[in-house]
């Protein structure tokens, strides 16, 4: 098996996230790449699409526009579970039909991903292993792509081992730190991104990462004078954590600034109450909306015109958006 840090230019690969934060990071990134490339993009839901849409929102992906045109759709969980309760042959035929339909609609390629954990409840994953071993016969000769994600929290080790064996490529997403509650990554030089929750158990990690980023910037003549901490996917921050961020900025030298970006409203309010507006070496950039939802006009692609996946996908959007606005 080839292990790659980026999504490979191959039709079929797998990923084994250690926790939900990594799962949604990889899922949103993979689907966003397809949307940007103009591919037909489908996500097979099993009841957790709200987390996917929230991560797409965090990543500033214009997914609503893609849903309005029908380029991006979420297949309802009832359909996903029915497929996962069928045979490997029926599931292969369904994937083949999706690729054919997408090509007939004028797309040059189709990108698929989904939540297959229901297959464990069906037969312990036996059908999924059979299906995965045969999937290359459909995706290999045709312009289709699929990244299969199997998170460790739901798949037993013996099943994971067998699923990995039937994939020739595995994608990994490195992190600075990941305890399943908080995930810290370094997406760009002088930039740190956090996802999940910051509390007493992992709070010191943030300070150490910021100190390391500042030390690296001070030692380099080409580094930015700004250290960016992206809070877009931070769901929870306790008071001590907010105070720690403010204190960290206050200890920055006058030549450098700590920039906090993308904070959700609740996190933003807490930072304000803990003195963020008064810290000289701290700049907080507010979260701005992207690609606001506009209900589709009847007759448009993705509207209520017989496309069941798009219809349910559109209804799925309203809940997560409302939740995101309140968080």
CATH, residue 14: 3.40.50.300
Tell the residue number behind the tokens 């809940």, with chain if given. Answer: 319
| Residue 265 CB neighbours (<10 A) | 13
User: Shortest CA distance to 132 belongs to which of 110, 161, 164, 155?
Assistant: 164
Residue 213, pLDDT above cutoff 70: yes
The proportion of the chain whose per-residue pLDDT surpasses 70, expressed as a percent, equals: 86
**What is the pLDDT, as a whole number, of residue 304?**
34
Number of H helices, E strands in the chain: 13, 13
- Are 88 and 235 found together in one domain? no
Tell me, rounded to whole angstroms, the distance of Cα 93 from its chain centroid: 27
Q: Are residues 109 and 60 in the same domain?
A: yes
Is 198 found in the same domain as 56? no
Q: 192 and 70: one domain?
A: no
Q: Supply the pTM of this predicted model.
A: 0.86
50, pLDDT greater than 50: yes
Confidence at 3, pLDDT banded by 50, 70, 90: low
The residue-averaged pLDDT of 23-36 equals 96
> Could you give the number of structural domains in the chain?
2
Question: If you average pLDDT over residues 188-206, what whole number do you get?
Answer: 96
Q: Are residues 128 and 182 in the same domain?
A: no
The pLDDT of residue 323: 34
pLDDT digits over 244-274, tens only?
A: 999 999 999 999 999 999 999 999 999 999 9
- Do 220 and 322 fall within a single domain? no
Q: Are residues 161 and 94 in the same domain?
A: yes
CA distance 53 to 61: 9
Six-digit token string for 78:
């009832």
pLDDT of residue 252: 97
What residue numbers bound the domain in which 202 lies?
177-286
First CA to last CA distance, the chain: 41
- Token pair listed for 175: 């992190």
**Same-domain pairing of 23 and 80:** yes
Record the tokens describing residue 102, joined without a space: 């997408």
Cα separation, 251 vs 218, in Å, equals: 14
- CATH code, domain with 268: 3.30.750.24
Residue-wise pLDDT tens digits, 300-311? 444 333 333 333
């Amino acid at each position: 098996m080839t292990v790659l840090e980026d999504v490979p230019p191959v039709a079929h690969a797998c990923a084994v996230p250690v926790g939900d934060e990594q799962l949604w990071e990889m899922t949103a990134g993979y689907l966003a790449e397809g949307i940007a490339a103009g591919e037909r993009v489908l996500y097979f839901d099993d009841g957790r699409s709200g987390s996917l849409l929230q991560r797409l929102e965090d990543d500033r992906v214009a997914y609503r526009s893609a849903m309005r045109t029908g380029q991006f759709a979420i297949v309802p969980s009832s359909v996903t579970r029915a497929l996962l309760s069928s045979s490997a042959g029926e599931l292969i035929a369904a994937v083949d039909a999706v690729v054919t339909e997408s090509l007939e609609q004028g797309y040059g390629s189709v990108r698929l991903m989904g939540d297959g954990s229901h297959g464990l409840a069906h037969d312990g994953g036996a059908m999924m292993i059979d299906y995965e071993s045969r999937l290359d016969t459909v995706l290999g000769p045709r312009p289709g792509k699929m990244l299969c994600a199997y998170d460790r929290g739901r798949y037993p080790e013996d099943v994971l081992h067998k699923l990995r064996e039937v994939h020739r490529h595995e994608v990994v997403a490195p992190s600075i730190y990941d305890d399943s509650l908080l995930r810290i990554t370094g997406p760009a030089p002088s930039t740190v991104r956090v996802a999940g929750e910051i509390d007493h158990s992992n709070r010191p990690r943030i300070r150490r990462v910021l100190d390391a980023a500042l030390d690296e910037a001070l030692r380099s003549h080409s580094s930015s004078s700004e250290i960016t901490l992206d809070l877009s996917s931070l769901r929870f921050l306790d008071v001590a954590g907010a105070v720690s961020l403010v204190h960290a900025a206050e200890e920055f030298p006058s030549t450098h600034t700590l920039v906090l970006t993308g904070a959700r409203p609740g996190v933003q309010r807490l930072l304000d109450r803990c003195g963020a507006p008064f810290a000289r070496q701290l700049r907080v950039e507010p979260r701005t909306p992207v690609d606001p939802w506009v209900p589709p006009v009847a007759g448009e692609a993705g509207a209520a015109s017989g496309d069941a996946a798009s219809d349910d996908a559109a209804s799925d959007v309203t809940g997560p958006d409302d939740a995101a606005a309140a968080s």
